[in-house]
Amino acid sequence: MIPRPISGAARIIPALDSGDAARAQSLAETLAPHCGVLKVGLELFTSAGPGIVSAMARHRPVFLDLKLHDIPNTVASAVKSLKGRPCSLLTLHAAGGPEMIARAREAADIALPDCQLLSVTVLTSMDQAQLNAIGVQRTPEEQVRLLGRMAIQAGSHGLVCSPLELPVLRADLGPGPALVTPGIRYPDAAGDDQNRVMTPAQAAAAGASFIVVGRPILKDKDPAGKTLSIRREIGEAK
């Protein structure tokens, strides 16, 4: 199991969000010296197949970001089907409810004993209008806090949230649960689908356990250099 990073540990998780397995492999080799974990998302997993997890784990521990969300029995079975896959972090949607999370935890304790389950609270692409459109009248922060408390009580090891909710979740839950934050953008980012964002330095200062960075790294002409630059930005490298 990956320990939650503390000051000085490699908190940056590059998101290998590509449907091109060869490019993802090349990026993994390039970025591995500069990060602690590599993220395999739904696009890469579905295009390359489950074997991509083992391939990436040769370079660094794998964050398997599948955001599982189904009836409890199906999610538990999906977790069991990952037995033998070297994933160290695995996501599921908190909106699946406490029984789904509890069943997933039971399955993971047997099939993936070295893996931490992370419950996704509210996607960073969602704002107030999008929550209202699906019938949620609470603010994003209120919804994140509600789902976060429920998920931890149900057995999740940690949460995925936007950086904006890090302070209130730490206040609610204390130092124990891992808080993983995507939604990392710079002020000059334009034409993006992310709504609740911060810079890497802001997310680190707010208390993120891990900081997931996708497009700012992948779209840079020097992905390794950009990763190292971000680590310098949050005080991890010189």
pTM value is 0.92
Q: What is the pLDDT of residues 14-27, one digit of tens each?
A: 999 888 999 999 99
The confidence score (pLDDT) of residue 225 equals: 93
Over residues 134-176, the pLDDT tens digits come to: 999 999 999 999 999 999 999 999 999 999 999 999 999 999 9
Has 67 been annotated as catalytic?
Answer: yes
Q: Which residue among the candidates 39, 67, 83, 226 is catalytic per the annotation?
A: 67
Tell me, letter by letter, the H, E, C secondary structure of the chain.
CCCCCCCCCCCEEEECCCCCHHHHHHHHHHHHHHCCCEEEEHHHHHHHCCHHHHHHHCCCCEEEEEEECCCHHHHHHHHHHCCCCCEEEEEEEHHHCHHHHHHHHHHHHHHCCCCEEEEECCCCCCCHHHHHHCCCCCCHHHHHHHHHHHHHHHCCCEEECCHHHHHHHHHHHCCCCEEEECCECCCCCCCCCCCCCECHHHHHHHCCCEEEECHHHHCCCCHHHHHHHHHHHCCCCC
Q: All domains of the chain, ordered by start, with CATH?
A: 12-233 (3.20.20.70)
User: Confidence band (pLDDT; 50, 70, 90) for 237?
Assistant: low
Residue 42 structure tokens: 């739904």
- Over residues 186-192, the mean pLDDT reads 64
Task: Give the model confidence (pLDDT) of 96-124 as tens digits.
Answer: 999 999 999 999 999 999 999 999 999 99
Residue 3 confidence (pLDDT): 44
Model confidence at 190, pLDDT cuts 50, 70, 90, reads low
